[in-house]
């Protein structure tokens, strides 16, 4: 149907005329169709060319004047539109196209109430009812009047049962009013009348998902793929339902069914890999992730999962290669940098790890453990002054005992015992239960604690 719309013989003749710069005769109705075509696809450049030629040949034609008004409204030329409206009000005050365009003008002027009154006037002409009802629904949405919008979107469906825009808009209204069960009831009634509506079954599935009714959602998405066996969204949502029910084998089978549809193979293999991860089958997961990046080498999420699998299995060089590939594609993902930092630590590349954690802190500054990890690596590098700077900066946002223990450790290692004791006392006050863990991690604390205890006993 879309191909038929664009295959327009009149438009082809008109464009050939422009290209060859040779005059070709078009009557006023033909010009009206040509201009309408360009306005419908928002090609205002060619619409204007056709309007100029048409108005020279048929300066008094009312339909062409209305198309001129549509052009002015479409290009938001409100002053020019206003002058033409005054003229057309006298000539064709009740013409449907004029009224619809006039309503659009007032909508652009952000006067929805006036637009609504005019759309209602146009509706009385019993022409283009479904389109006008959708326009009315949109105006009520602008007013946040969801009941009013719902009424007109439903009315649009009475004129055109296959109007997916009106159907989706009804669902949107129910969503905005948080009336999920009412939406389900509405969709079921609609499906009773129009059982082969792919969009209705899809929306019904989503409503059941909102209520976490995964079995019912699954049934709806089943109908979607029955109606349209190539519905990528249908297969994806089916698989998602299986995932939510922990039916990982079923999810894998569903994703496998969708393989080969358009350009989604990389995503499907990726989801298959995640499912195998849940089934604790790392080899099959890795195989799927590898297929994912083979299908799309720019699929960074696939490279990330490969890196995680290699890292967990102890293949750190391979993990490093994979995470670097992910970072080449997306250098703003904090999870990729974290993985890069962890792998670098495993490989003894502490400087690279510290650089990575600095980036993580920049990308995700409100996460305490990012700061802690950065300071840990700096301490491992022996960069105690830099670690102290990081920890003091961290203290501005977090009052955590771990920070004080680390500060104490750094100051003791820098041979500044007074500051070391000060922060150790603060750490113990805040959370003494951490002291054993911290002593094991930082041996100097164990030694200094003994000294502090002996000093206290003497006093």
Residue with tokens 């007109």: 152
For residue 131, give the nearest of 91, 89, 103, 173 by alpha carbon: 103
Q: For residues 232 and 121, what is the distance between their CA atoms, to the nearest angstrom?
A: 42
CB burial of residue 167 (10 Å; 0-12, 13-18, 19+): buried
Binned at pLDDT 50, 70 and 90, residue 108 comes out as very high
Q: Is the alpha carbon torsion for 101, 102, 107, 110 positive or negative?
A: positive
- pLDDT value for 446: 87
DSSP state of 432: G
Q: Are 368 and 360 in contact (CB under 8 A)?
A: no
105 pLDDT more than 80: yes
234 pLDDT more than 50: yes
7 pLDDT more than 80: no
Write the CB contacts of 332 (distance below 8 Å, at least 6 apart in sequence): 363
- pLDDT value for 6: 52
Residue with tokens 């102290």: 388
- pLDDT value for 370: 95
Binned at pLDDT 50, 70 and 90, residue 455 comes out as low
Q: For 47-85, what is each residue's pLDDT tens digit?
A: 999 999 999 999 999 999 999 999 999 999 999 999 999
456 pLDDT more than 90: no
Q: For 445-454, what is each residue's pLDDT tens digit?
A: 988 888 776 6
3 pLDDT more than 60: no
- pLDDT value for 458: 58
Q: For 335-390, what is each residue's pLDDT tens digit?
A: 999 999 999 999 999 999 999 999 999 999 999 999 999 999 999 999 999 999 99
143 pLDDT more than 60: yes
Mean pLDDT over 226-235 rounds to: 94
DSSP state of 25: -
Radius of gyration for the alpha carbons in the chain, expressed in angstroms and rounded? 34
Write the CB contacts of 388 (distance below 8 Å, at least 6 apart in sequence): 407, 410, 411
Q: What percent of the chain has pLDDT over 90?
A: 92
Domain residues of the chain, as ranges?
1-75
Q: Are 387 and 364 in contact (CB under 8 A)?
A: no
**Rounded mean pLDDT of the chain?**
94
For residue 347, give the nearest of 307, 384, 387 by alpha carbon: 307
Q: For residues 234 and 231, what is the distance between their CA atoms, to the nearest angstrom?
A: 5
91 pLDDT more than 80: yes
Q: What percent of the chain has pLDDT over 70?
A: 97
- pLDDT value for 1: 38
459 pLDDT more than 70: no
Q: For residues 282 and 46, what is the distance between their CA atoms, to the nearest angstrom?
A: 58
5 pLDDT more than 50: no
For residue 118, give the nearest of 91, 90, 147, 96 by alpha carbon: 96
22 pLDDT more than 90: no
Q: Is 277 helix (H, G, I), strand (E, B) or coil?
A: helix
The Cβ-side half-sphere exposure at 142, using a 13 Å CA radius, reads 18
Mean pLDDT over 310-323 rounds to: 96
261: number of Cβ within 10 Å: 15
Residue with tokens 């905005």: 176
- pLDDT value for 429: 93
Residue 2's φ and ψ, nearest 5 degrees, are: -65, -35
Q: For 236-272, what is each residue's pLDDT tens digit?
A: 999 999 999 999 999 999 999 988 776 779 999 999 9
Q: Are 347 and 318 in contact (CB under 8 A)?
A: no
- pLDDT value for 450: 81
């Amino acid at each position: 149907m879309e191909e038929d719309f664009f295959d327009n013989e009149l438009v082809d003749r008109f464009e050939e005329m422009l290209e060859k710069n040779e005059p070709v005769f078009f009557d006023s109705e033909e010009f009206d169709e040509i201009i309408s075509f360009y306005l419908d696809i928002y090609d205002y450049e060619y619409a204007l060319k056709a309007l100029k030629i048409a108005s020279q040949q048929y300066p008094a034609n009312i339909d062409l004047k209305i198309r001129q008004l549509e052009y002015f409204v479409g290009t938001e030329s409100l002053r020019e539109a206003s002058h033409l409206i005054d003229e057309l009000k006298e000539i064709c005050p009740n013409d449907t196209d004029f009224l619809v365009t006039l309503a659009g003008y007032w909508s652009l002027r952000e006067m929805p109430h006036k637009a609504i009154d005019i759309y209602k006037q146009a509706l009385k002409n019993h022409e283009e009812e479904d389109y006008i009802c959708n326009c009315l629904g949109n105006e009520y949405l602008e007013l946040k009047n969801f009941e009013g919008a719902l009424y007109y979107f439903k009315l649009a469906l009475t004129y055109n049962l296959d109007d997916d825009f009106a159907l989706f808009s009804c669902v949107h209204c129910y969503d905005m009013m948080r009336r999920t069960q009412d939406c389900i009831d509405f969709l079921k009634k609609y499906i009773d009348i129009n059982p082969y509506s792919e969009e209705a079954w899809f929306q019904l599935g989503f409503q059941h998902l909102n209520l976490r009714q995964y079995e019912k959602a699954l049934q709806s998405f089943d109908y979607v793929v029955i109606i349209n066996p190539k519905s990528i969204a249908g297969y994806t949502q089916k698989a998602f339902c299986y995932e939510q029910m922990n039916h990982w084998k079923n999810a894998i089978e569903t994703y496998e069914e969708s393989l080969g549809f358009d350009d989604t193979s990389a995503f499907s293999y990726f989801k298959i890999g995640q499912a195998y991860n849940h089934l604790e089958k790392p080899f099959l997961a890795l195989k799927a992730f590898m297929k994912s990046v083979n299908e799309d080498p720019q699929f960074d999420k696939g490279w990330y999962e490969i890196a995680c699998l290699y890292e967990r299995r102890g293949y750190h060089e391979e993990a490093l290669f994979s995470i670097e590939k992910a970072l080449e594609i997306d250098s703003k993902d904090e999870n990729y940098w974290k993985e890069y930092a962890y792998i670098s630590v495993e490989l003894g590349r502490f400087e690279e790890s510290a650089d990575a954690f600095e980036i993580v802190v920049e990308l995700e500054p409100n996460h305490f453990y990012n700061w802690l990890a950065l300071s840990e690596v700096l301490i491992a590098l022996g960069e105690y002054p830099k670690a102290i700077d990081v920890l003091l900066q961290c203290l501005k946002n977090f009052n955590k005992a771990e920070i004080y223990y680390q500060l104490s450790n750094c100051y003791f290692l820098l041979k500044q015992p007074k500051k070391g004791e000060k922060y150790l006392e603060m750490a113990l006050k805040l959370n003494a239960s951490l002291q054993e863990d911290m002593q094991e991690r930082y041996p100097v604390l164990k030694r200094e604690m003994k000294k502090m205890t002996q000093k206290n006993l003497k006093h």
